[in-house]
């Protein structure tokens, strides 16, 4: 059994106005800056006045009850929806008017709450789609099998295997993605997202449907990914052990509004959060 790494205590410091990021990220551009971000669906304010600054190598959590607007925020960041208010800067770049593909190229990758793999394609090919903008060749090269085709295909294969190895999945490379067990599908989604070479990785409920052992492994892996790739991770999760275990900053959402922000310790002892979220959960569950 691998030993679970514990989150080292991160010193959080204030960044310009009232944003808080890890001290080690201070010298560098924040990877994400949202200001007054909002969207309405026919009058319903799904997200309202959302402000967030993420450090370059920060692991952040986005939590809140069902329907709070967490997934909607991911959809706003990746331009699945265009925001009706506010702005999003990625690594200092204003994303106004950008498409999903532009944002992907700018360095945002995501996984989906309801797994969206390419089910009829092999595990390796799923990862290769992630590499699609990294290692490419033109159509003529592809059809007529010019030498460049073989070098690029080999590069893709090697890179895909290297990424799959993070989760020990390289032996499954030829398996059809749709036939993988649930936990493995979630892991493959993370690998596929990593293949796009992101600066910011958005994980929508990565531990959903995983058993406690798998969740522990996932926590370990998220930390490892952050350390090796030096990227920022923002995750939505209902599993409080995971959130409190690895997130450095946490943002709590309720009815589309941020009701609290802070370190895990601060969030755990915040009466507003306990009432809106944790308290409710205790009543219903354990």
Ligand X SMILES: Nc1ncnc2c1ncn2[C@@H]1O[C@H](COP(=O)(O)OP(=O)(O)OP(=O)(O)O)[C@@H](O)[C@H]1O
Question: Count of CB atoms within 10 A of residue 138's CB?
Answer: 10
Question: Count of CB atoms within 10 A of residue 4's CB?
Answer: 11
> Is there binding between residue 67 and ligand X (CB under 6 A)?
yes
Nearer to another protein, 48 or 124 (CB): 124
Q: Strand (E) positions, the chain?
A: 12-15, 19-22, 32-41, 44-54, 59-63, 85-90, 93-94, 108-110, 200-204, 232-236, 249-254, 257-262
Report the residue from 20, 84, 112, 166 that binds another protein according to the rule CB under 8 A.
112
Candidates 45-53, 154-162, 180-188, 207-215; binding stretch for another protein (CB under 8 A): 154-162
Instruction: Determine the size of the site formed for Mg ion (CB under 5 A).
Output: 2
Candidates 20-28, 50-58, 120-128, 214-222; binding stretch for another protein (CB under 8 A): 120-128
Say how far apart CA 197 and CA 203 lie, in whole Å: 15
Q: Choose from Mg ion, ligand X, another protein, none: what does 41 bind? Cβ within 5-8 Å by kind.
A: ligand X
Q: Are 58 and 24 in contact (CB under 8 A)?
A: no
| Residues 6+ positions from 104 with CB-CB distance below 8 Å | 78, 133, 196
Nearer to Mg ion, 24 or 238 (CB): 238
Query: Which residues in 15-44 contact ligand X (CB under 6 A)?
Result: 41, 44
Inter-helix orientation angle 123-131/182-195, to 10°: 30
SS3 4: coil
The 136-175 contact track toward Mg ion, x by CB under 5 A, reads: ----------------------------------------
Q: Strand (E) positions, 64-180?
A: 85-90, 93-94, 108-110
Report the residue from 113, 141, 170, 268 that binds Mg ion according to the rule CB under 5 A.
113
> Is there binding between residue 14 and another protein (CB under 8 A)?
no
> Is there binding between residue 91 and another protein (CB under 8 A)?
no
The angle formed by the CA atoms of residues 148, 229 and 126, to the nearest 5 degrees, is 50
Cα–Cα separations (whole angstroms), residue 74 to 62, 70, 207, 238:
10, 7, 17, 16
Nearest to 98 by CA among 109, 110, 87: 87
Q: Choose from Mg ion, another protein, ligand X, none: what does 139 bind? Cβ within 5-8 Å by kind.
A: another protein
Nearest to 69 by CA among 52, 93, 89: 52
Question: Count of CB atoms within 10 A of residue 176's CB?
Answer: 16
Nearest to 206 by CA among 78, 115, 139: 115
The 69-98 contact track toward ligand X, x by CB under 6 A, reads: xxxx--------------------------
The 202-241 contact track toward Mg ion, x by CB under 5 A, reads: ----------------------------------------
Report the residue from 196, 215, 216, 232 that binds another protein according to the rule CB under 8 A.
196
What residues make contact with another protein under the rule CB under 8 A? 78, 80, 99-101, 104-105, 109-110, 112, 116-121, 125, 128-130, 132-133, 136-137, 139, 142-145, 149, 152-153, 156-158, 161-162, 165, 192-193, 195-196
What residues make contact with ligand X under the rule CB under 6 A? 41, 44, 46, 64, 66-72, 113
């Amino acid at each position: 059994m691998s030993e679970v790494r514990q989150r080292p205590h991160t010193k959080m410091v204030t960044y310009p106005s009232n944003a808080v990021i890890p001290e080690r990220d201070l010298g560098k551009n924040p990877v994400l800056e949202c200001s007054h971000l909002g969207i309405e669906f026919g009058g319903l304010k799904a997200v309202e006045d959302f402000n967030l600054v993420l450090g370059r190598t920060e692991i952040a959590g986005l939590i809140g009850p069902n329907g709070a607007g967490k997934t909607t925020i991911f959809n706003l960041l990746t331009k699945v929806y265009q925001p009706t208010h506010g702005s999003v800067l990625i690594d200092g770049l204003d994303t106004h008017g950008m498409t999903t593909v532009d944002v992907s190229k700018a360095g945002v990758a995501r996984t989906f709450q309801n797994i969206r793999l390419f089910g009829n394609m092999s595990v390796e090919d799923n990862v290769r789609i992630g590499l699609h903008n990294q290692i490419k060749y033109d159509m003529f090269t592809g059809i007529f099998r010019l030498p460049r085709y073989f070098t690029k295909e080999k590069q893709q294969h090697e890179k895909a295997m290297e990424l799959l190895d993070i989760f020990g999945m390289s032996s499954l490379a030829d398996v059809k993605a749709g036939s993988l067990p649930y936990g493995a599908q979630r892991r493959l989604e993370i690998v596929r997202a990593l293949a796009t070479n992101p600066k910011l990785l958005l994980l929508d409920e990565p531990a959903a449907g995983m058993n406690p052992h798998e969740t522990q492994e996932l926590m370990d892996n998220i930390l490892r990914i952050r350390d090796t790739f030096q990227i920022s991770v923002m995750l939505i999760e209902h599993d409080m052990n995971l959130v409190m275990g690895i997130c450095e900053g946490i943002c709590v959402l309720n009815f589309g509004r941020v009701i609290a922000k802070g370190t895990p310790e601060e969030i755990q002892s915040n009466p507003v959060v306990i009432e809106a979220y944790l308290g409710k959960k205790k009543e219903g569950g354990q």
